[in-house]
Amino acid sequence: MDRRRPELTRRGLLLGAAGVAAGWLLRPHPALAGSSALTDVARRALAESPLVYISPLKSDGAESQCHGEVWFVTDGDDVLLVTARDRWRSRAVERGLTRARIWAGDFGVWSRNRGAWTKGPSFDARAGFERDPAAHAKALASFGRKYPDEWDEWGPRFEKGLADGSRVMVRYRPAPASDEKG
């Protein structure tokens, strides 16, 4: 049996260091573990897209017949939108349909694009109402930066509606597709 020590080479040292670095970078980070089901592709699409397409998920996991493109902003990986209280996005959350599927990209008006949005990056999310006035203010400022050409008209509507209750802010937090909580 040969008991000689293996020769230490520059190549071996570099390969070993690269393996250690890759393992360290790919380890689950405790602050992020379980916090998001968002892929890098979906995250990039959210950063670049002016629209998301949303469909509430029924209790059996099937998409509802309600779909629509909507303006949005992000807060970390969360998607925030403002909608009228009487619209399906709000009513779905009120009725307990807190699971949704979100696609990122600009595919035009959903009813005229023959489901083209379903080819875009997507993720499942959990929806809830965002009621914190500080979160509202931060999101409205983000909307103004993201949609500057339309914000003179829509900014006051969003702000007034959130103040008087005719509009709500919905927060969609990425969740694993297998999240079965209703």
The reply to whether 110 falls in a domain is: yes
The reply to whether 182 falls in a domain is: no
Query: What are 50-81's pLDDT values in tens digits?
Result: 989 888 887 777 666 666 778 999 999 999 99
Query: What are 14-64's pLDDT values in tens digits?
Result: 344 333 333 333 333 333 334 457 888 889 888 988 989 888 887 777 666
The reply to whether 158 falls in a domain is: yes
The reply to whether 24 falls in a domain is: no
The total number of structural domains in the chain stands at 1
The reply to whether 19 falls in a domain is: no
Cβ neighbours of residue 173 under 8 Å, at least 6 residues apart? 77, 78, 125, 126, 127, 128
The reply to whether 12 falls in a domain is: no
Write down the pTM of the prediction.
0.72
CATH number at residue 85: 2.30.110.10
Closest CA to 54 of 28, 30, 76, 83: 83
* pLDDT band for position 111 (cuts 50, 70, 90): low
Domain of 169 in residue numbering reads as 40-175
